[in-house]
Chain A
Amino acid sequence: MAVELISANHAAALAATLAGRANRTARGFCSGVYPITPSTECMEYLCGQEIEKGKVVRADSEHNAMGICIGASASGARSFTTTCSNGLAYMIENCVAAAGYRLPIVMSIANRTLGPPWNIWADHGDSLLMRDLGWLQFYSADIQQVFDTVLCAFRLAEDPRVMMPALCCMDGFILSHTMAQVEVPSQEQVDRCLPPTDIPHRLDKSAHTLGQMETPHQSVVHRAQHHQAMLNARQVYAEVQDSFEEIFGRRPADPLVSYRTEDAETLIVSMGTLGVTAERVVDLLREQGQSVGSVRVRMFRPMLDEELRKIFAGKKRIAVLDRDISIGFGGVLWGEVRGFADPSAIVQNYMVGVAGGDVRPEHMINLLAELEQANESGAPRIVEVA
């Protein structure tokens, strides 16, 4: 397998390109794109690729970019796009439709703070806008994971038991613009990994309408189907991992990445690159005799509630680190996972690295030292990081 020194934006685009080419024997590949920092490099790379039976359309807005993906996917093509921040906010109206149509579009997000105030750095607030729409959501922590996740996302999204769009998130700049060695499989390997796209409700077989007007009862049934399909993704993802490992000789990361949790009393729970820093902190504190572990939530939708309950069982203190803020509430991840902890556990939310601050091990060590002193769960806390 070739090793290339590339950025995560580049890796996502490369994975999409290989996936696009893999569908050349079926109904091809089509992507609508529109640039925004820090996702631009991903679409730029994609625009420069020759994809057999493929077309990358430079749209005149994010909204139309997703419109193009919807059209492509509805006619049976494999489809991919990338955006972030306010670009995603502008795209979302069509993202709702993509999910409702149950189209397996894959989107790469280089997470960026929503403005104003204008800020281009990493914050998960943009992709979390999509939390309840029926998109699968993944958060990567290194560049290899970004590449692997995009490939897995196509496989997962297009699985008939799942059949819905997927979001692959990377921290803006921290990953999107960082280069490192990435193992890149051959086209032949990718062909084996990704069977031809088959969207059963595509618009080429018979005259029918997608997303038509429904009665309450019809719609609730469709919602229930969508919900069940999303829950199916937990099992299907495990199958994708197995298949991926068999073909590429490398196992894609788990939906939940647990690090030294089994004997830990205190847990750090986070998403994205914060989780890697958390693992370094775990190592540092373990050297000092503290029993700390880390859980990185890689698959945020569907949420792995049972698995998290198991990991949280018996833990005394849980620090949930959010690189986001739900104004008037607290961290979004904290809101999601705090109910999985034991009733007696102290679950403290720290919103840290919001708007792109460089969260260093020292910051986390300070937070954990504070948590060790706590007698009860406090209110969510915003931590300033320059």
Chain B
Amino acid sequence: MGQQESIPSTATDLCEADLPSDISFPLEIRLHGRGGQGGVTCAKLIAAIYAQMGLNVQTFGDYGAERSGAPIRAFTRVDRDPIKNRNKVYRPDHLLVLDAALLGPPVLDGVAAGAVILINSAERVEKYVEPFADYRFGIIDATGIAREHGIGTSSVVIINTTLVGAYAKLLGLPLEVLEDVYTKMGLSEDLQAAKEAYLKVRICPADTTVSGLAVGGELATSLPPVKPQTEHSEDIPTKLKTGNWSTQLPGYEDYLAPCNHACPAGNDVVGFIQALKTSGADAAAEVLLRTQALPSVCGRVCPAPCMHECNRKQMDGAVNNRSLERWISDHSRFRLQVEKPEKVLSLAVVGGGPAGLSAAYQLALRGHRVCIFEKAEKLGGVLRYGIPVYRLPEEALERDLERILSLGIRSQCDHPVDQAEMERLHRQYDAVIVSKGFSDAYTLAAAGETLDGIEQGLDFLARSREAGSEARLSGDVVVIGGGNTAIDCARSALRSGASSVKLVYRRSRDEMPAIDEEIEDAMREGVQLLALRQPVAFRGVGQVAGIVLAEVELGEADADGRRRPLVTERTTELNCSTVLLALGQENELGLLPEAWQVRNARVWCAEDPLNIWLTGDCSTAEGTVTHAIGNGRLTAMVALAALANTSTVASLSGTESTPTQLQQGSLVAPAQVRFSHFPILAPHQDRHQALENYRNSFEEVNLGLSGQEEAERCFSCGRCTQCDTCLVYCPDGVISRSDDGYRIDEEYCKGCGICVAECPRRAMDLNDKGLSDGC
């Protein structure tokens, strides 16, 4: 021992001491995995382990098709001598399979009997015993272990470091080598997972009693024969079915646009705007009229939550949906055909306001006989008596009413319904839909409220509607309230001769429930806003002469998110000659006999449901025309479903879904729209009457759009417009036009997802192809 002068390096010592005796050199290792699993790094890690033991190594990936999910290969070669092999590995001594779903002839190719195989699989080891009898093999659920240790992300688990732990055990390599290498490569955090795999790997020795060729001993695919030199002129068509590389496939899907989701009437906003864009007003009306009984009305007075939610608002301004609806109703005479029902029902509708009209319209469209009972002289309810004509001209309302009544709906006006009449209707009709709207208006209960000159705003509006500017006011007018009625009162007062109009609201401007544009119009016309003021008393002798206002501070947020007004002791006084109250209305259902109760918008007598439904504000108190229209339509559907004895849910599926039904992730978010695809284009604004015409005139102020170009601005969120972007961007040209859109050639689609990423409007998505962990 002492005679030996030169001592081999410690690395060589380690190699001799620690290497299992059954490893022979050159050693060739091949890995199969999918892009993103970390296969190339895994091969490098294995190389580093052998390098640590003093051996020469070489490691490389098989590059070209790498992308997430595509099958990939990686190689490691180990030898005592310098490695002169520059080829890929065709006859691996060790085979590592990172995804068991890949197991098949190409993976096992060239793996001769006696080879060592390691498979990442959660399956039981027994599953592999028979096919792999010729091999020494190990099974480890590396994905499960790596996931538990949080290696990678929840969707992409990186298993390489875990798998190497199992490999070390399978080979009989000492755990200490692993520790050294992981520390050296900055992977110490993954060492616990590797150790767990080291302990958990299940190993089956090669069954030497089985004599026969190993599954992959033939070298069938990966090592093509060396061709005779005379045969190299054959043309090579692309036979490579690259569709096999992918785990995901793109597809065209409809997602819910935020406008459609927001529309209280349940209108297909994207549908009618796109129809307007591509095919004109009649085509748009065909879509719109399915859900909308009163497009001329809604196109003027809707608060348009669709515009608040519009994804284009995040780019260059919301699409002017409301005025497009108006454009369609003003420019199309299209009528939907009445359906023929299996059985014609006879239904009564109590109340001819927006909810009742909408319900009656939907019922009549489906071929049923409908009669509307209205207590006023004419149909329309709040539309006729509560909204001033400068916002909703008579002709617009009449146009909608004419279309509704043309479906054969009968109406009895001047026909109030009391309890006795209600019972009669219940007996005589198959069903009754009650849409009586709100009842009496709220009062303030402040001192002096009975003085002359203090009037309910709705009464003033009704008078004003009848008499126009003949319903004269004079002097200083104060309007109390912050909703649309208050704004309507204020603007009507200006038109009726008031010398000044002040709007008193107890919260701040931001919290006013009135439509924003209406508030702006009112201010522009000269209405003064006194926000954060609460009237506490009225002054005057016989006739109101002044109003005492207390200052208000805003406290904690209410359940509805608005901050609660806190009235202070600080007051001011304001002279006035007229006060209009616009504080909202009560909801009372005195027309129902006392034995009847309302549950879920249906009337019950004891435990028996009656064929009477409530709809609109008297049921929901949502307070806008559009909500009333939407609820009227849905109530009609619910009633028909109940009468036909079918499930309401089923009958409400598809295009008639309620606005509240929403699946997780189905709503198109602004981030899912590719703004860069669309040129910046400011919204087309409504035209307005010139300012000097406002006073003393009840002519319509808003003249709507001058054309339909605004429809071009709609992104068509979540719905394919056949814009060809997917087809243009597909790098492999596998997308082609088909009769109803596009066809994707699944044999060649690599699932790269570029079409989905490039789709400007999220009308596409990548779907899992459902590859499973199996042999």
Contact = CB atoms under 8 A, between A and B. Distances in A.
Nearest to A366: B226
A174 B86 contact: yes
A276 B86 CA distance: 7
Given A181-B51, A273-B86, A370 B59 contact: no
8 contacts: A173-B63, A174-B86, A180-B58, A180-B83, A181-B51, A276-B84, A362-B226, A383-B232
B60 A179 contact: yes
B45 to A, nearest CB: 10
B85 A280 contact: yes
Contacts of B83: 180
B600 interface: no
* Interface SS majority for chain B: loop
Contacts of A141: 86
A153 B696 CA distance: 92
A366 B44 CA distance: 33
Interface string A257-301: 000000000000000010011011000000000000000000000
Nearest to A283: B84
Given A5-B57, A121-B63, A382-B232, 19 more contacts: A120-B64, A171-B86, A173-B60, A177-B61, A179-B44, A179-B57, A179-B59, A180-B83, A273-B86, A276-B84, A277-B86, A360-B90, A360-B223, A361-B87, A363-B226, A366-B226, A366-B229, A370-B229, A384-B227
A279 B84 CA distance: 8
A381 B223 CA distance: 22
Contacts of B228: 366
A380 interface: no
Nearest to A175: B86
Nearest to A172: B63
Interface of A: 5, 38, 120-121, 141, 171, 173-174, 177-181, 273, 276-277, 279-280, 358-363, 366-367, 370, 381-384, 386
Nearest to B52: A5
B229 A120 contact: no
Interface string B45-75: 0011001000011111101100000000000
A383 B228 CA distance: 9
A358 B87 contact: yes
Contacts of A382: 232
Q: Which of B60, B86, B226 has the most CB of A within 10 A?
A: B86
Given A5-B51, A386-B224, A178 B229 contact: no
Nearest to B40: A177
A239 to B, nearest CB: 27
Interface string B220-239: 00011011110010000000
Contacts of B90: 360
B491 interface: no
A273 B58 CA distance: 14
B88 interface: yes
Closest 6 CB pairs of A and B: A178-B60, A384-B232, A273-B86, A386-B224, A180-B58, A362-B226
B52 to A, nearest CB: 9
Contacts of B63: 38, 120-121, 173, 177
A386 B229 CA distance: 14
Given A273-B86, A277-B87, A180 B229 contact: no
A151 to B, nearest CB: 20
Contacts of B44: 5, 179
B558 to A, nearest CB: 55
B229 A381 contact: yes
B10 to A, nearest CB: 13
Nearest to B88: A358
Interface in B82-132: 83-88, 90
B59 A178 contact: yes
A71 B229 CA distance: 50
B49 to A, nearest CB: 11
B58 A178 contact: yes
Contacts of B229: 366-367, 370, 381, 383
Given A173-B63, A180-B58, A181-B56, A5 B84 contact: no
Interface residues of B, number: 26
Interface of B: 44, 47-48, 51, 56-61, 63-64, 83-88, 90, 223-224, 226-229, 232
Nearest to B90: A360
A383 B227 CA distance: 9
B231 to A, nearest CB: 8
B234 to A, nearest CB: 8
A205 B226 CA distance: 61
A315 B712 CA distance: 78
Contacts of B224: 386
A179 B58 contact: yes
A5 B57 CA distance: 9
A340 B24 CA distance: 44
Contacts of B232: 382-384
Contacts of A179: 44, 47, 57-60
Contact of B64 (A121, A279, A280, A381): A121
A279 B226 CA distance: 19
Contacts of B226: 360, 362-363, 366
B229 to A, nearest CB: 6
Contact of A180 (B59, B87, B223, B227): B59
Nearest to A178: B60
A386 B227 CA distance: 10
Nearest to B225: A362
Contacts of B60: 173-174, 177-179
B297 to A, nearest CB: 57
A234 B304 CA distance: 82
Nearest to A121: B64
Nearest to A173: B63
B460 to A, nearest CB: 69
Nearest to A364: B226
Nearest to A361: B87
Contacts of A383: 229, 232
Contacts of B48: 5
A180 B48 CA distance: 9
Contacts of A363: 226
Contacts of A177: 60-61, 63
Contacts of B88: 358
Contacts of B58: 178-180
A113 B534 CA distance: 81
A103 B247 CA distance: 50
A252 to B, nearest CB: 16
A280 B84 contact: yes
B622 to A, nearest CB: 57
A381 B64 CA distance: 27
B754 to A, nearest CB: 16
Contacts of B84: 276-277, 279-280
Contacts of A120: 63-64
Given A173-B63, A363-B226, A181 B57 contact: yes
Contacts of A360: 87, 90, 223, 226
A120 B224 CA distance: 21
A366 B86 CA distance: 18
A262 B685 CA distance: 90
Nearest to A7: B60
A305 to B, nearest CB: 28
Nearest to B228: A366
A366 B229 CA distance: 8
B160 to A, nearest CB: 15
A381 B88 CA distance: 24
A38 B61 CA distance: 12
Nearest to B85: A280
Contact of B56 (A180, A276, A362): A180
B305 to A, nearest CB: 46
A65 to B, nearest CB: 23
A323 to B, nearest CB: 12
Contacts of A370: 229
A382 B229 CA distance: 9
Contacts of A279: 84
A366 B84 CA distance: 20
